[in-house]
Structure 1
């Protein structure tokens, strides 16, 4: 099959992070837009990107894009696309939709038109009048923006944030994709210690361990496209084999998750075991006021409470003051804090070196980044020790 146009969808604010991941995987000529990055690949790349992308939401096949201001235009141009090249005779192919600033604003009508057009195309190929739709899932989406329709098929199934290790729920969990983005944006290096003093069910420490050992985040789950006849099973097997070969399972890491809630820490330990990195992450019941470390250089990456509910704000604001006092004692560390509270920097007592708008679900947040000094190079450090001993 010739080059395929693929879309890695992303939460607003993470598009550049997804693009960076794609470049590191070897993809070029990326087109970065709101909530998506478009690139080209082949069948093997569908497997590879689903397995490896840490911050993308889904991998979609872009079937077509065209102007559509009438239902007839939408029908005819959808029917002209090569649906049977992808969709099998027994496929289950539901249609989802969305419409923004377009003449075709009725989403249910657009979905019905696209469904009808795909069925008509399938009839031509398979010589059938009725499709039972009991086979593999091919979720189609029609997305209209400013009268331009984009037609896609989802290869991922459940969102890529569903790594497979978080099988037990907790209140207001941080998505795995956002946690991974926070770590990648920090430029944390696996040789340095990392602490999350508000770890909750353990998402940030676990994602850090997966990054530190170069474990593909999707290696423990399945994807919708694995059931598609058009993608040989061998390609998925090869992609997983390569992912296992690239993982550094023996790399030792210094990652700690702390929280004052002992019950949620038991969830964190369970999730770490499910992810296979429980020996690399240590969890401890500890209030932030007691945060200490014997290490000279390290990273704090955290998602503390926001105080979204009015009654919680005084307690959260006091917590931010406490964080400022505690973190300042670790004056050679770098710290990264995600919160929606507008007054965080004032309460924390320091202006961030950099901040970035991110979304935690539907909550608009800022990712505050405080940079510590770089540790001395090993050679310089050794010379210093030699000089001191003479």
Structure 2
């Protein structure tokens, strides 16, 4: 096997450029496509990317790609790939699949064919007569067919990368950790500036911001499927974790504050923050947005307020946005970033956004409203 492998960091729609910037920041050149960032890198990139990527959904290892319009072509093309370079003799290799605009549209049939083909290749390479034992490490294979091109990958992450391991509680519509991190990275907030979220919910945006502010790797406190792979020497994982430890800035001071009308969400936010290892780094307070008090200039707000999508909620959401706008109009030095699906947000907030960006919060089409503050020169 060559020293370099091909990897895909999958991304939510609209976040491809953010994920690409993160991968470049780790030192790898990328190619950006719909829903994914493709790059070649040494094997050590698997631990590093899983540990550090804040906005990617998963990191997948590309085994091969070829054209397949018949089941025979799919079988033979799969069998020709070097599966033994990646899957150990006792490895488990369940196969999932999807097919878009392809001749081979039956996903279950494609999965069975790929599974059988991989098994035949591995049995021949490992000198086995009976079926593969599949009692060892997990190698989740995916067959993805797009316009008759078959892409075979193995998932290196296991549980999705949004699962940081710190969420012990959540509200009714929690924001994914990967999306929360993206909302922070799409701003020009830096840890020396005050940051607040007056609609903090379970605290995800502010927890992700604190991790970014102290440069703590988001995957530091979780496990990954590829940690069990023979392909990746334990030394590479040790080096990746040590790098994360060395680059963390635990002494970086932060002024981050979260508030919410619901006292239960404040308790959940506190618990999640403690689980993330942030201790009392974030100040949490039960409060309605109209009572928001701002004492410093040049701060930032990043928020995901209620959308008012349930029956009877629209009027209350309008009032919340009006109160929010009335508070912030007296603080023009503050930058405000708001993710919402409420199309009349600007009307009730009372000000047109400097910039808007289309994003998908799960399957909900949203806008990210961005108001750039007029910076006031701070005294040294």
TM-score (norm 2): 0.97
Q: Distance in 2 between matches of 1:267 and 1:341?
A: 26
Q: Distance in 2 between matches of 1:65 and 1:175?
A: 31
Q: Distance in 2 between matches of 1:172 and 1:336?
A: 19
**Does the residue aligned with 2:27 lie in a helix, a strand or coil?**
coil
Q: Is 1:275 paired with 2:272?
A: no
Deviation by residue 1:130-169 (Cα, 9 ceiling, x = unmatched):
1121211100001111111111000000000011111334
Per-residue deviation at 1:368? 0.6
Number of aligned residue pairs: 378
Q: Distance in 2 between matches of 1:98 and 1:375?
A: 52
**Does the residue aligned with 1:329 lie in a helix, a strand or coil?**
coil
The answer to whether the Cα contact below 8 Å between 2:3 and 2:43 also exists between their aligned partners in 1 is no
2:171 corresponding residue in structure 1: 170
Per-residue deviation at 1:24? 1.5
Per-residue deviation at 1:278? 2.2
In the TM superposition, 1:303-382 aligns within 5 A as: 303-376=304-377, 381-382=379-380
2:244 corresponding residue in structure 1: 243
List 4+ stretches of structure 1 deviating above 6 A. Answer: none
Q: Distance in 2 between matches of 1:115 and 1:21?
A: 33
Q: Distance in 2 between matches of 1:237 and 1:204?
A: 29
Q: Distance in 2 between matches of 1:249 and 1:374?
A: 28
Q: Is 1:52 paired with 2:55?
A: no
The answer to whether the Cα contact below 8 Å between 2:340 and 2:366 also exists between their aligned partners in 1 is yes
1:388 corresponding residue in structure 2: none
1:123 corresponding residue in structure 2: 123
1:75 corresponding residue in structure 2: 75
2:235 corresponding residue in structure 1: 234
Q: Distance in 1 between matches of 2:150 and 2:374?
A: 49
1:387 corresponding residue in structure 2: none
Deviation by residue 1:230-264 (Cα, 9 ceiling, x = unmatched):
11111111110111010000111000110011111
Per-residue deviation at 1:108? 0.6
Which of the two has greater helix per residue?
Answer: 1
In the TM superposition, 1:1-390 aligns within 5 A as: 1-28=2-29, 30-128=30-128, 129-376=130-377, 381-382=379-380
Unaligned runs of 5+ in 1: 383-390
Q: Distance in 2 between matches of 1:271 and 1:49?
A: 24
TM-score (norm 1): 0.95
**Does the residue aligned with 2:269 lie in a helix, a strand or coil?**
helix
**Does the residue aligned with 1:190 lie in a helix, a strand or coil?**
coil
RMSD, matched Cα: 1.1
Alpha-carbon spacing, 1:299–1:58, altered in 2? closer, same or farther (3 Å): same
**Does the residue aligned with 1:319 lie in a helix, a strand or coil?**
helix
The answer to whether the Cα contact below 8 Å between 2:71 and 2:113 also exists between their aligned partners in 1 is yes
Q: Distance in 2 between matches of 1:23 and 1:320?
A: 37
Deviation by residue 1:78-136 (Cα, 9 ceiling, x = unmatched):
11111110001111110011111111111111111111111111111112221121211
Unaligned runs of 5+ in 2: none
